[in-house]
Chain A
Amino acid sequence: GAVVSQHPSWVICKSGTSVKIECRSLDFQATTMFWYRQFPKQSLMLMATSNEGSKATYEQGVEKDKFLINHASLTLSTLTVTSAHPEDSSFYICSARPGTSGSGNEQYFGPGTRLTVT
Chain B
Amino acid sequence: GQNIDQPTEMTATEGAIVQINCTYQTSGFNGLFWYQQHAGEAPTFLSYNVLDGLEEKGRFSSFLSRSKGYSYLLLKELQMKDSASYLCAVRTHTGGFKTIFGAGTRLFVKA
Chain A contact residues, CB within 8 Å of chain B:
32, 34, 36, 42-46, 49, 57, 91, 93, 97, 102-103, 105-112
Contacts and interface: CB of A to CB of B under 8 A. Distances in A.
A42 B48 contact: no
Interface in B23-79: 30-31, 33, 40-45, 48, 50
A106 B31 CA distance: 11
Nearest to A36: B101
Given A42-B103, A43-B87, A57 B96 contact: yes
A108 B45 CA distance: 8
B42 A110 contact: yes
Contact of A43 (B40, B41, B96, B104): B104
Contact of B41 (A36, A45, A49, A111): A111
B98 A49 contact: yes
B99 interface: yes
Nearest to B50: A105
A109 B44 contact: yes
Contacts of B44: 109
A112 B42 contact: yes
Contacts of A102: 96-97
A57 B96 CA distance: 10
A43 B97 CA distance: 19
A46 B90 CA distance: 12
A44 B87 contact: yes
B107 interface: no
Nearest to A32: B97
Given A42-B103, A43-B87, A43-B103, A103 B97 contact: yes
A111 B40 CA distance: 9
Given A105-B31, A105-B48, A34 B99 contact: yes
A86 B50 CA distance: 40
- Listed from nearest, the 3 A-B pairs whose CB atoms lie closest are A109-B42, A43-B103, A44-B101
B46 to A, nearest CB: 11
A108 B48 CA distance: 13
Given A42-B103, A44-B87, A112 B98 contact: no
